[in-house]
Structure 1
Amino acid sequence: MPKLIINRLIYTVETENEKYGADVPFHPGLNIIFGPNSVGKTSIVTGIIYGLGSEKGLGIFKSDQNPFKPEFYKSIEGKTVTKSYLILEISNGIKEYSIFRYIKGGKLI
């Protein structure tokens, strides 16, 4: 039976002269996301949903809504975001795959 294994979630946010990001590894078995307010728990869950392309299919976000906090698409630390994206690394137990999705800016060539 095929299975979906989430290996890693990587966020990158770029401004004109700075690069911000997070690298969230997942380990085999059950992973529990916990912590105090405003540390990124919702951003992790949103990233997984968005990386899988499920944000609209699950009815979580309307077509004109950005599912991320403003730090991903408007500004971070008072600087305008020029580009942001995520990479979701998954596997099916046999092969590994990387899913790349822009949050803001950039074009796939």
Structure 2
Amino acid sequence: MTGLDSFIHQCPDGYDHEISEQGRNLSSGQQQALCLARTLLQGGKLLLLDEPTSAFDNLNESRLCQQLPDFLDKEQTLIVITHRTSLLQLVDRIIVLARGEIVADGPREQVLARMNSKGAN
């Protein structure tokens, strides 16, 4: 789901690939995929993802958006902090902050419609 598996299969040592201190021998996207995979495997009732795909390419981001909803348990709460509108498909509710204040809050479709109509004006 994070794209980490395809990277591992490219490594000569596969899952035995040694990761250097602070992941210096990984790209930023690989580091992010590894951290995200570890987070998802930990589970928990609350999953807080802050810009979870900022170093992902479009393909890996799309894969995550398609597969994450089926991976999550119905008892889990997902909070996504993002500037990427593509990730908004993962949430039911959107809270928009500007200059430290809530400027919009509500169901995803309503907030997006409100924000789009303000942008058109």
Q: TM-score, normalised by structure 2?
A: 0.29
Larger strand fraction of residues? 1
Larger Rg: 2
Q: TM-score, normalised by structure 1?
A: 0.31
Larger RCO: 1 or 2 (CA < 8 Å, sep 6+): 1
